[in-house]
Structure 1
Amino acid sequence: MTPKHFVPFQQLRQQPTIAVDSTGLGAVLTLAHWRGATTPELLRDDTSAGSVLRALREPTTSGLEAAAVTANHFDIDGFVGVWALLNPALALRHEPLLRQVATLGDFREINWANPLADHALQLVCWLNAEEKNRFYEPFGAPARRRREDEASAEKFAWFLPRFAAVLENPAVGQAAWEPEYGRVKQAAAIMQSPATTIRRYPEIGLTVVRTPEPVPYYALFGPTTGTDMVLSLYDGQRYELEYKYTTWIDLESRPTLPRLPLQALANCLNELEMGARRWTFDGITDTGPLLRLSGKGLTKAQRYADPDQRPIYSSAIPPAQLEEEVVAFFRSHYAGVEPRRYWSWADIRAVGEVEQHRISSSAGRKLG
């Protein structure tokens, strides 16, 4: 295979270039799980890094001969994909581990029974810590008046030559990964204890987690694998509902239901809410839309950060009633909608518009 090197995204059209975890006109090969990406059908995977690893096992793939590789942002999945193209032999040797790293980085899902789980968590925590300490947090470029596609090139330049050493010997980066790793492991123990209860509603793709305090995503989302929404119920009647990233991308491994606008659910909950705070929500095209009681507006970087790193406010609604309302809403609105793969954003909006029309018609009949 042609030896490869990383180029900043702005240089995409200056030479034949492979785009990883990104879309861009002019790429000779796209390896991304984004909706509508032109990833070859045989290379589609849940993660962009997974598509890269598939491509490495199909060396005759058209475009794979290009020497330049790029991405328009830095995150763990995209970085692993770029690094694998630059280090194909080592990547294939560690393929199961790299797949776990990419999945944990993007979906925050980890299977603790897997013997590689600890190693994957250490690598992810090392990437997180070094990124924040040396550069800026995910989605933090705009606050620094920088474009992510430009600023992220500095991250790639630092991480690409250093990742292999930590991959093969995590102790090399232990000083960086240990604090977050310890926090996640402690939270995971609580999630696996009698203090936590988990209920799944597979017909609507929802997992309900009731646990005393907010925990890091890597602990919270582990038990939610296979579902696409998480309702978190914390002591003190503090709640959050979140659509996972699994419904922002084209998930290859299983069909999913489309995201629904959360306006109607927020309206329902606001009718029940006795306090001064109101239920607010993010749009369906956000990477991880949240429904939560309002406070000071959260930035994208704060919303992406762990639940235990942001304020979550007390509601007047008892937890059993909140769960009942959320489950009833999605059961009603997903009735007649069949899960499938490869929803386009136009398809998703169309489902939402149909549901909005149905709600408006129902409200009109009640008023009449």
Structure 2
Amino acid sequence: MVKYFVPFRQIRQQPTIVVDSTGLGAVLTLAHWRGAATPDGLRDDTSAGSVLRALHQPNTPGLEAAAVTANHFDIDGFVGVWALLNPALALRHEHLLRLVATLGDFREMNWLDPQADHALQLVCWLNAEEKARFYEPFGAPARRRREDEASAEKFAWFLPRFAAVLENPEAGRAAWEPEYLRVQQGVATVQRPATTIRRYPEIGLTVVCMPEPLPYYALFGATAGTDVVLSLYSGQRYEFEYKYTTWVDLESRPTLPRLPLDALTARLNQLETTPRRWTFDGITDTGPLLRLSGKSLTKVQRYADPDQRPIYVSSITPERLEQEVVAFFRAGYAGIEPKRYWTWAEIRTAGQREEA
């Protein structure tokens, strides 16, 4: 059966497959959101990955529905929706589409993969056209619009145009090239001797030391397989971040739960002698940051690349900051084993244990 996209508000008007979202009345949910009703055999790190698994299992209950929806527009969700509407082409490009969804959602890429360059071009094309023709991710509320309603316009524009760029990236070069070149420069920076990377696998931490902030697509490639990142920039400028990998249900590997950062923030504020204060976002944010505060960042600014926002000078040395972060997580994770499919209730319980 030929499938078609419907706006999220129409989910109850016909049997509908929900991608990268949850919604009452869905006949099939294909999402990596924590607690989503994705069938066990279709679970994947990305929602697009769950869609591709479903396409290999055409007898999946609910897959016969013609209507497809999502309650927001992002790269992973878009790829999943597009794949359901274009199954033969999606399966022909399955590996490439998996790379696109992973880079779009987790900002991770193995740059040695033969299709990495192509995936980056597609992601940059989607980003550029989205911002130029519509609004940036998380930008709907500032325009007094609901994302689940406004995003339907993005799907309507991208769905009939994506295949042409998928099969011939040159067709979209004018749009994707500026961000593509910026990311490639960042990847080269990560690979230079001036950048050092330290991993603490027992707490899922990667520490990246580099001269200047980089685009996420360059920064997070070096952090694949871990879930928390401490970025140490020259001039004692720092950011700590929980990656999106701990907001969703990863299928490929176990993870540790997010811990509230109140105690770590209080400790850093004891050490900080500049007028600025350390602040942090709540653990249910998609990518919570711990950083020295200036003017509060909007969700759009927090989602944007580190090189697109101010990062302030701290009085704390990088060695001391790294010691404090490592000590905090080693203590907090003592006695907690990594696992798959944490519930938010379990994560809150782990956080209360750490606070106690």
TM surpasses 0.5 = yes
Task: Name the amino acid aligned to 2:265.
Answer: A
Query: Hey, which bits of structure 1, 4+ residues long, moved more than 6 A?
Result: none
Offset at residue 80 of structure 1 (A): 0.0
Matched, 1:277 2:292: no
After superposition, give the CA deviation of every residue in 1:156-182 in whole Å (9 maximum; x if it has no partner). 000000000000000000000000000
> Distance between the aligned counterparts of 1:212 and 1:356, measured in 2?
34
Task: Name the amino acid aligned to 1:227.
Answer: T
SS in 2 for 1:69: strand
Offset at residue 351 of structure 1 (A): 0.6
Offset at residue 286 of structure 1 (A): 0.2
Q: Name the residue aligned to 2:97.
A: 98
> Distance between the aligned counterparts of 2:292 and 2:155, measured in 1?
37
Offset at residue 201 of structure 1 (A): 0.3
Q: Name the residue aligned to 2:106.
A: 107
> Distance between the aligned counterparts of 2:106 and 2:112, measured in 1?
17
Task: Name the amino acid aligned to 2:124.
Answer: C
Q: Name the residue aligned to 1:256.
A: 255
SS in 1 for 2:202: coil
Offset at residue 356 of structure 1 (A): 1.0
Task: Name the amino acid aligned to 1:230.
Answer: V
Q: Name the residue aligned to 2:194.
A: 195
Structure-to-structure mapping, 1:203-218, within 5 angstroms: 203-218=202-217
Q: Name the residue aligned to 1:57.
A: 56
Q: Name the residue aligned to 1:300.
A: 299
Matched, 1:160 2:159: yes
Q: Name the residue aligned to 2:219.
A: 220
Q: Name the residue aligned to 1:174.
A: 173
> Distance between the aligned counterparts of 1:334 and 1:314, measured in 2?
29
Offset at residue 354 of structure 1 (A): 1.3
> Distance between the aligned counterparts of 2:332 and 2:50, measured in 1?
33
Structure-to-structure mapping, 1:231-270, within 5 angstroms: 231-270=230-269
> Distance between the aligned counterparts of 1:333 and 1:80, measured in 2?
37
Offset at residue 136 of structure 1 (A): 0.2
> Distance between the aligned counterparts of 1:329 and 1:349, measured in 2?
17
After superposition, give the CA deviation of every residue in 1:329-367 in whole Å (9 maximum; x if it has no partner). 10111010000000000000011011112xxxxxxxxxx
> Distance between the aligned counterparts of 2:69 and 2:217, measured in 1?
27
Q: Name the residue aligned to 1:40.
A: 39
SS in 2 for 1:166: helix
> Distance between the aligned counterparts of 1:230 and 1:35, measured in 2?
21
User: How well do the aligned residues superpose, as a CA RMSD in angstroms?
Assistant: 0.3
Structure-to-structure mapping, 1:339-354, within 5 angstroms: 339-354=338-353
> Distance between the aligned counterparts of 1:286 and 1:330, measured in 2?
19
SS in 2 for 1:233: strand
After superposition, give the CA deviation of every residue in 1:199-219 in whole Å (9 maximum; x if it has no partner). 000000000000000000000
Q: Name the residue aligned to 2:18.
A: 19
> Distance between the aligned counterparts of 1:271 and 1:190, measured in 2?
33
Task: Name the amino acid aligned to 1:29.
Answer: L
Structure 2 unaligned runs (5+)? Answer: none
Task: Name the amino acid aligned to 1:152.
Answer: S
Matched, 1:319 2:318: yes
> Distance between the aligned counterparts of 1:13 and 1:22, measured in 2?
15
Offset at residue 17 of structure 1 (A): 0.1
SS in 2 for 1:203: helix
SS in 2 for 1:291: strand
> Distance between the aligned counterparts of 1:185 and 1:262, measured in 2?
33
Task: Name the amino acid aligned to 2:131.
Answer: K
> Distance between the aligned counterparts of 2:186 and 2:246, measured in 1?
25
> Distance between the aligned counterparts of 1:163 and 1:349, measured in 2?
40
Q: Name the residue aligned to 1:309.
A: 308
Offset at residue 227 of structure 1 (A): 0.1
Task: Name the amino acid aligned to 2:292.
Answer: L
Matched, 1:229 2:223: no
Q: TM-score, normalised by structure 2?
A: 1.00
Q: TM-score, normalised by structure 1?
A: 0.97
> Distance between the aligned counterparts of 1:355 and 1:323, measured in 2?
19
> Distance between the aligned counterparts of 1:102 and 1:13, measured in 2?
27
> Distance between the aligned counterparts of 2:194 and 2:296, measured in 1?
31
> Distance between the aligned counterparts of 1:187 and 1:338, measured in 2?
34
**Aligned sequence identity (%):** 81
SS in 1 for 2:232: strand
Task: Name the amino acid aligned to 1:19.
Answer: V
> Distance between the aligned counterparts of 1:103 and 1:112, measured in 2?
13
